[in-house]
Amino acid sequence: MAKRKVNTSVPGEVRYRAVCVNCGTFIPVNSGITKDEKNYCSSCAAAMLNTPIIPPAAPAAEIQALQPFAAPSGILRILSYIVSLSPVFGFLFGAIFYSQKDEALKKFGRNCFIMMGIGIALSLIVFILIIAAGAAFGGGMGGINFGEGYY
């Protein structure tokens, strides 16, 4: 069986390959230029060859958004360390801040991990003390009266 070539172009049809990024006109298939993966029509390409393209400056808010966030300071830092005694929040703060490139953020994250460890150790100590107090002051029965009588 022979392969049939399908003619997809209709006579008189104009095919476009792109849209000019400068003026927005459609660029026919065999015209215009591409520079830095951007397509320009013939008139914009001629103007572009005479003058260099200068990209617009980024707004100040956008530049500030690209900068890394800062570690908490003052009373917020103290509250963060107190909240970091909880294993969940200690791990969360530590993982977020320790993964940053800034040395101050890494130090804050490491301190949150340390506070998480201290919180876990304090929880275990309090748990052991509660068990010991319950055994020491609970009496021989342990709160359940299994004596003679009806069951």
What pLDDT is stored for residue 147 in this prediction? 61
83 & 127 share domain: yes
- Model confidence pLDDT, tens digit, residues 66-76: 556 788 889 99
31 & 74 share domain: no
Best CA proximity match to 112, nearest among 98, 99, 131: 98
pLDDT exceeds 50 at position 1: no
Mean pLDDT of 25-39: 74
128 & 89 share domain: yes
Give residue for tokens 């049939």: 4
- Model confidence pLDDT, tens digit, residues 99-140: 888 888 899 999 999 999 999 999 999 999 998 887 777 655
Q: Is-contact 44 20, C-beta < 8 A?
A: yes
Is the whole model's pTM more than 0.85, yes or no?
Answer: no
Best CA proximity match to 95, nearest among 80, 83, 106: 106
Exposed/middle/buried for residue 111 (C-beta within 10 Å: 0-12, 13-18, 19+):
buried
What pLDDT is stored for residue 51 in this prediction? 63
- Residue 109 counted as domain residue: yes
Q: How many domains does the chain have?
A: 2
Secondary structure in 3-state letters for 33-45: EEECCEEECHHHH
Q: When comparing pLDDT for 58 and 6, which is higher?
A: 58
What pLDDT is stored for residue 65 in this prediction? 53
How far is the C-alpha of 6 from the C-alpha of 37, rounded, in Å?
A: 31
- Residue 144 counted as domain residue: no
Structural domain range at position 31: 16-50
How far is the C-alpha of 98 from the C-alpha of 104, rounded, in Å?
A: 9
What pLDDT is stored for residue 6 in this prediction? 43
- Residue 129 counted as domain residue: yes
